[in-house]
Structure formats: C-alpha cells, structure tokens
Copies of this chain bind each other. A is one copy, B any other.
Amino acid sequence: MAIWVKYSLAVLPLLPCLLLFLAIKNNEFKEKIYVLMILSLIGYLLVDRLVPIISQYTLKRGLCGKDLGKKGTINESVDVPEALGIVSGIVFLVCAILSSVVYFSNTSHQQMIFNSALFSICFMIFLGFTDDTLDLQWRYKLILPLTASIPLLTSYSGETAVLIPAQLRFILWNDSTKMLTTLGSVIDTIFTVDTNAEGKIIELGPFFFLYMSLLSVFCTNSINILAGVNGLECGQAYIIAVSILFFKLYDIYISSDHTNVCGDNQLFAIIMILPFIATSLGLLRHNWYPAKVFVGDTYCYFAGMTFAVIGIHGHFSKTLLLLFLPQIFNFLYSIPQLFKVIPCPRHRLPHINVTTRLMSASTFECKASDYQYFKSKRGDVSCPNYTLICLILQVFGPMYEETLTTVLLGVQVTSTIIAFCIRYYLLHE
C-alpha cells in the first residue's frame, strides 16, 4: 500500500467523530475538549518518538520475537522487539493524569473514580509487562486481570442493576398475565427481577461485582486471542476506541437539541478514550505491516482494561460488548480448541506461502478416532484452525498479510455499525 493510502485509512475512522464534534453546540464542553486534544496530540508524538528508543532497550534484554509472517524473506531471522505496549501505556497514564487535573480538580467523588480507574489500568499494564518479561503461566493470565480490577470494584458506588432493553423484556415478563415468565422466575431466584418495573430492571446486587470482574477478564483476554498478524492487536483496539468516542459524542449530540449537555459518564469516557486513541495510533505506526515492533501482552492488557473501565464507570458495558462482536465470535468459535475438545496446536497463526507471500488458513491434524467431535467423519482429519482469522482466509481465499489485517479491521468497523444500529434504532426507546 502506498504510504498516503495507509495514513488516510488510519485517520479515516476519526473523521465521523470530528464531524460530530463540530456539530455539537455546547461551546463550554468543546473548549475543554480542545485542551484534551492538544494533550493527546503531544501523547501521540511522544509515543511515536519513544517507541524506537525503548525498542533498543527491550531488544538488549532479549524481549523480542520472530515474525512468523516474514518466513522465507531475508528478514526471517531478524529479532523484532516485543512489549512496546509499555510506551503507549506509560504515556497514556501521564496524559490521563494531566487531563484529570483540567477537569476534576473540584469534585472529590469524580476524582476518586478517575484515580481508581487509572490505578486499575496502571496495575494491568504493570502486570502485562511482568507477563511479557517473565512469561507467566496461563492461569496467571486469568488471575492478573482479576487482581487489577479490585481497585475498580472497591471504588464502584453506582447502580448494581442492569436495565433490560424494551424489545427483550418479553423474555422475563409476560405482559398479558402481568407475571414473570418461567425464565424470569428462574433468574429471580438468583438475582432480583423488579416486578414493579415489569421486568425492566434486574438487580444483580453483589453479583454485579462478579460481572465487572468477568468483564475485565474478558476484555483483556479477548484482544489477546484475536492476534498474531502485524497491526491487528493495536488496530482492533484503535477501532473499538474510536467507536466508543463516536458513541459518546453521539450521546451528547442527541441528548438535547439545544444545549448538548455532557453528563459525567460521557465526560469520563471521553477523557479516558482520547489519550488512548492517540497513544495507540502512535504505536500502530510502528506495529503496522511490516512490523518494526510487537505490542506484547502489555498492550492487550492495557487496552482491555481501559475498555472495561470505561464500560463500567461510563455505564456502557452492554453496548461495549456489541463493539466486541468479532472478539466474542472468535472466542466462542475457538472454544473447541481452547478447551482441548479437539487438538490445539502451539500456534494457530495463518500459514504463509513463502513464494507468493500469500497467507492461508493454517490447519491441524488429528486421528478422528481419538476425538468424539469428529466421530462422524471417516479417517484422519485435517481442517483449518478454529479462529476468526483462519475463517476469513477460508471465505475470501489467500491474501497478503497487510490485506488480511485490513479486512479484519473492516470486520471490526462493520461490527461497530451493527452495534450502532442496535443501540440507537432497534433498542431505542
């Protein structure tokens, strides 16, 4: 791809946000955001400048990996520096702290929430970097996000109820009999379904904290699983982040035709997401095909926790899950292999043809007789790995690595559009 095409594509997702921002009429809000934009721009430049410097340090320490997509080229054996997400992470924290000074200097409650949110993110980046450095075992990957989400949970003082969209209310509430449905009654034994509100509200109580923890674990790990192609981890997080920004700006835009008042949770999300977008974009520049650096678990954990935090404190967790549709699909689709129902090879990255440089779905082999799953088939099985990446390569055929990333990011954008339709048209009340 020509360099100007890449750059245009990279800033394209930001365009709708900018238009929406210009359409908002609340000038006081806009002035605040200008300050934030400048801060974020500085963050972008800092990351862009620091990544090459810090990558020398990580290389020296042996924090590096081989790029499997460069097999068969002269760069095959070049060590690519790992864990550069740490640069984005640290710059993000500094930008976010400074932003919070601009906004929350007077309200102690908002400042408390903001501090605990950043504490959780900082803890997660730290644990991610520890993981990259020390190569911890799998079980730690589940324990770490749980640990890091504790500050979030202890500072959470909001609602512990979940609102059910009007269109789905029939599952819990029978409007003709004015009683809970069977499923509603079952759910009511564990949680509390508000019968006065006719099934509109499920009060999760202490389970809400479990839900928040699980959201953190899910967000951090799902980005980590949909990975392995240059620019994908960073790219998908970038698209999700821009989508969150768009949704929040749209919320403000439609909130009131004349004033466009910005609520606390919108402001919280915007303050968080702007430096995240900037620092991710700075990293993406170096991580895009051909990748000069890898982002590492550090970045995946950092991104995941940032989204979880925004989901929880921005009262946005259900819509957030809609933005994670490709990741959710990838996770569900991977389950047979993740839980070893069928064999799971060490790497499930796409296979590269060293002469054409085209990528195709990688496969795994197994004796069908050993696995219940394949009993119906005869003889041994050789089928593509159960990942979204391999599925796309099967559907669209072999493609170049850069094209593959672009297509996958296209899928991510599509999921945003679907989420937008569901959120604002289907479930709009």
Residues of A bordering B, CB below 8 Å: 54, 57-58, 60-63, 86, 90, 93-94, 97-98, 100-101, 105, 108-109, 111-112, 115-116, 118-119, 122-123, 125-127, 129-130, 133-136, 147, 150-151, 154-155, 157
Contact = CB atoms under 8 A, between A and B. Distances in A.
Nearest to A119: B119
A130 B122 CA distance: 13
Contacts of A90: 127, 130, 147
Contacts of A101: 154
A90 B122 CA distance: 12
A118 B151 contact: yes
A112 B108 contact: yes
A125 B123 CA distance: 10
Given A94-B150, A97-B151, A115-B119, 5 more contacts: A63-B133, A90-B147, A108-B108, A111-B154, A119-B122
B93 A155 contact: no
Contacts of A105: 154
A111 B112 CA distance: 7
B57 A136 contact: yes
Nearest to A134: B57
A319 B93 CA distance: 31
Nearest to A109: B108
A70 B129 CA distance: 32
A97 B61 contact: no
Nearest to A118: B119
B61 A134 contact: yes
Contacts of A109: 108, 112
A133 B133 contact: yes
Given A115-B112, A155-B115, A150 B98 contact: yes
A61 B130 CA distance: 11
A147 B115 contact: no
A62 B60 CA distance: 11
Given A119-B122, A126-B125, A54 B154 contact: no
A210 to B, nearest CB: 16
Contacts of A111: 112, 116, 154-155
Nearest to A136: B57
Contacts of A115: 112, 115-116, 119, 151, 155
B135 A97 contact: no
Contacts of A151: 97, 115, 118
27 contacts: A54-B134, A57-B136, A60-B134, A60-B135, A61-B61, A61-B133, A62-B62, A63-B133, A90-B130, A97-B154, A108-B109, A108-B112, A109-B112, A111-B112, A111-B116, A112-B112, A112-B115, A115-B151, A115-B155, A118-B151, A122-B122, A122-B126, A126-B129, A129-B129, A129-B130, A129-B133, A133-B133
